[in-house]
Each structure stands twice: as structure tokens, then as C-alpha cells.
């Protein structure tokens, strides 16, 4: 365990979070750490988050997401296939546009363009990039820029496009009992280990969600995660995103940042359009659809959904479906030949 580097990174991230909170930034304890840790990495500091802290953050966020589940969840699931179809079409459009952008405008080879356009599954994408002799470092930076940009952009879009103010965490109306929270945490760790063995994406986040949804749907573990634990989990997550830029050359970062930010802006416009159209054609709130369709990291978007009190179960299920769809789609796209 690299405890020293982790503690330094968390101190930097916490400082960024409290600064962002004082300055009124959207989702400050997520955006602040992500921003200041990224800057720290680019000026030469070695930042990292140990796996134990990362998994702790994922579990707490997963439990928080699951705490919004109710006994009526099964009925709600019946109305989600339509939005799932919208999400899948949205992802496909984003990849097609992204591939064209990276291949035709930025002159990357076909496989690199596909992998750089994949809105999710960073570890899976980097593994494929090694197998296909693609530009792994460039893909890593572009994908990290996508995650970072969306962490900063989605709360800002929410602030401007809706009447929700995302500067602070809402106070929980009912806090979960410590014994119940301990039970959920231990069960999440055990399930997370099993899911990790079968290579499930975001294993510990998914475990926390499943255990918490089960407990809350059956009314066995009522209440929400204490706000200070949520805040700490968000600081860890934001710091983790920023730490991905450790060791990246500034010259490469500048080039990849422009490429990644351009792609992310287009992807966010596409996702916002799909979310807006479906919100008009259905009874689903635009806020929930925007976060569910945004091509960000599962952990980051789920955390933002929790911060703004969206239907976090709805958001998380759509992002999980996106990852499963990408797992099947991306290898197929890599077999296609250039025209």
C-alpha cells in the first residue's frame, strides 16, 4: 500500500474540495479534487489513490445510490426499456461521430479512433489497445480527459439547464443506523470480491448498489449514508480521476486535451439532445435522463446523480447497461476494415 502518496493526494484533493465549496462551484467535493489533483500531476507531483481507499469510496457511493430504492422499484423497472433503447442509440451515435473525428480530423488510425471514442470501460479499452497495437498512452489521456471534463461539465450543465443548485450536499432526512451501515459495508466487500473475480466492471460500486438496493427494497436497512461519509467518498473519487494524469507529459496532455475535450463536448451535446427529446416524449425528468445518458464514468455519474438527488437507481442501471453494451460492441468495431 502506497499510503504516503495516497494521503498526500487526499490532502491536496480535500483542499481543492473545500476551496471549490467556498467559491460556489457545482458539486465541489467532486470537481474541486479532480481539478487540483490534475494540476498537481501536470506540474510533476506523483499522485495516486491506493486500491483500499478507491474500493471504500466505490462501496460508500454504491450504498448511497441503493438507499434511494423503494419497494416500488420492480414496477419502475417495467418502464425503463424505452429509455434503455434511447441510451443504446445515443452511445452508438457518439462512437460513430467520435471515430470520424479522431480518424478524419485528428488523423489517428482506425482502431485508435474507435478506442478513443468508447464512452466508458477505461481498463477494458486500454487492454484492447495493447492487443491491437493502438496508441495506448494517447487513448489513456483522451479517455481520462473525457472523465475529467464530464465531472466538471455535467454539474455545470445541470446548474444552467435546470433549476437545481448543485453547490452543496443536501442534508439526509433520515440517517442509516451504524449497525445497518456496517452490515451493508461488509456484505458489499464480500460481494465485490466475488464480482472482481469474474471481472465485473466497477465491481465494488456495483456490489454496494446491489446490497443496498436489496436492503432498502425489503425495508431491512432504512436511511441514507451520513453526509460526511459521502463527502469523503466524493473527495476520494475526484482525487482518483485527477491522479490518472500522473507522469503524463505536458506536451502530450495539451494535444490530447484538445482532442478529448472536443470529443467530450460533442458527446455531451448528443447526450443532452437525446435526453431532452426523450423527456418530452415521456414522463422521465430531463435531469435524470441527462445524467443517465452522459458518457462519463459509471462511478462519477452515479456520484453526481447522488449529489443532485436524481433517481440514482435509474441512473446507475443505465450506465451499467451502457458498459455491457460497449463490452459487446467495441470488439466488433475493431474487426471492421477502413474503406
* % of the chain beyond a pLDDT of 70: 90
- If phi > 0 it is left, if psi is from -120 to 50 it is alpha, else beta; for residue 44 that is left
Q: Which band of pLDDT confidence, cut at 50, 70 and 90, is reported for residue 31?
A: confident
Across the chain, which distance is largest between two alpha carbons, in Å? 60
| pLDDT above 60 for 304 | yes
Q: What pLDDT, on the 0 to 100 scale, is given for residue 104?
A: 94
Q: Nearest Cα to 307, choosing from 213, 162, 175, 170?
A: 170
Residue 87, C-beta contacts closer than 8 angstroms, at least 6 positions apart: 274, 292, 293, 318, 321, 322
> Measured between alpha carbons, how far is residue 310 from residues 27, 48, 65, 300 in Å?
13, 30, 10, 14
Q: Which band of pLDDT confidence, cut at 50, 70 and 90, is reported for residue 74?
A: low
Cβ atoms of residues 336 and 186 within 8 Å: no
Q: What pLDDT, on the 0 to 100 scale, is given for residue 19?
A: 94
For the stretch 108-145, pLDDT in tens is 999 999 999 998 777 678 767 777 777 888 888 898 88
DSSP 169: P
| pLDDT above 50 for 105 | yes
Q: What pLDDT, on the 0 to 100 scale, is given for residue 128?
A: 76
* % of the chain beyond a pLDDT of 90: 39
Go through 299-313 and write b for each residue having 16 or more CB atoms within 10 A of its CB, e for each that does not: bbbbbbbbbbebbbb
The helix (run of H) or strand (run of E) holding residue 207 is helix 203-217
Q: Which grid coordinates belong to 90?
A: 445515443
Average pLDDT, the chain: 85
Residue 193, C-beta contacts closer than 8 angstroms, at least 6 positions apart: 203
Q: Which grid coordinates belong to 219?
A: 425495508
The Cβ of residue 48 has, within 10 Å, a number of other Cβ atoms equal to 20
Q: What pLDDT, on the 0 to 100 scale, is given for residue 172?
A: 44
For the stretch 237-281, pLDDT in tens is 889 988 988 888 888 888 888 999 999 999 999 999 999 999 998
Q: What pLDDT, on the 0 to 100 scale, is given for residue 60?
A: 93
Q: What pLDDT, on the 0 to 100 scale, is given for residue 11?
A: 97
Q: Which grid coordinates belong to 244?
A: 490518472
Q: Which band of pLDDT confidence, cut at 50, 70 and 90, is reported for residue 39?
A: very high
- Average pLDDT over every residue of 210-238: 87
- Average pLDDT over every residue of 149-165: 75
Q: What pLDDT, on the 0 to 100 scale, is given for residue 147?
A: 86
Q: What pLDDT, on the 0 to 100 scale, is given for residue 123?
A: 66
Amino acid at each position: 500500500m502506497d499510503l504516503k502518496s495516497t494521503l498526500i493526494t487526499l490532502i491536496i484533493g480535500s483542499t481543492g474540495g473545500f476551496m471549490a465549496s467556498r467559491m460556489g462551484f457545482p458539486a465541489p467535493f467532486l470537481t474541486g479534487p479532480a481539478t487540483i489533483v490534475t494540476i498537481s500531476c501536470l506540474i510533476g507531483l506523483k499522485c495516486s489513490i491506493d486500491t483500499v481507499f478507491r474500493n471504500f469510496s466505490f462501496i460508500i457511493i454504491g450504498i448511497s445510490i441503493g438507499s434511494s430504492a423503494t419497494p416500488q422499484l420492480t414496477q419502475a423497472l417495467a418502464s425503463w426499456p424505452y429509455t434503455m433503447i434511447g441510451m443504446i442509440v445515443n452511445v452508438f451515435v457518439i462512437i460513430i461521430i467520435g471515430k470520424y473525428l479522431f480518424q478524419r480530423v485528428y488523423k489517428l488510425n482506425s482502431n485508435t479512433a474507435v478506442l478513443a471514442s468508447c464512452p466508458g470501460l477505461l481498463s477494458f479499452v486500454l487492454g484492447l489497445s495493447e492487443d491491437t497495437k493502438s496508441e495506448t498512452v494517447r487513448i489513456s489521456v483522451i479517455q481520462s480527459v473525457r472523465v475529467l471534463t464530464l465531472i466538471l461539465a455535467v454539474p455545470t450543465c445541470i446548474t444552467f439547464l435546470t433549476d437545481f443548485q448543485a453547490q452543496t450536499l443536501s442534508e439526509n432526512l433520515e440517517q442509516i443506523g451504524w449497525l445497518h451501515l456496517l452490515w451493508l459495508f461488509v456484505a458489499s466487500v464480500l460481494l465485490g470480491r466475488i464480482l472482481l473475480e469474474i471481472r465485473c466492471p466497477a465491481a465494488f460500486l456495483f456490489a454496494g448498489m446491489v446490497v443496498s438496493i436489496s436492503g432498502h427494497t425489503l425495508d431491512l436497512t432504512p436511511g441514507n449514508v451520513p453526509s460526511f461519509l459521502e463527502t469523503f467518498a466524493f473527495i476520494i473519487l475526484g482525487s482518483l480521476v485527477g491522479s490518472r494524469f500522473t507522469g503524463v507529459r505536458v506536451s502530450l496532455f495539451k494535444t490530447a486535451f484538445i482532442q478529448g475535450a472536443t470529443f467530450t463536448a460533442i458527446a455531451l451535446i448528443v447526450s443532452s439532445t437525446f435526453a431532452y427529446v426523450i423527456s418530452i416524449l415521456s414522463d422521465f425528468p430531463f435531469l435524470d435522463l441527462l445524467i443517465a445518458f452522459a458518457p462519463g464514468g459509471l462511478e462519477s455519474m452515479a456520484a453526481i446523480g447522488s449529489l443532485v438527488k436524481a433517481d440514482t437507481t435509474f441512473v446507475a442501471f443505465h450506465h451499467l447497461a451502457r458498459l455491457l453494451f460497449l463490452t459487446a460492441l467495441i470488439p466488433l468495431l475493431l474487426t471492421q476494415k477502413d474503406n
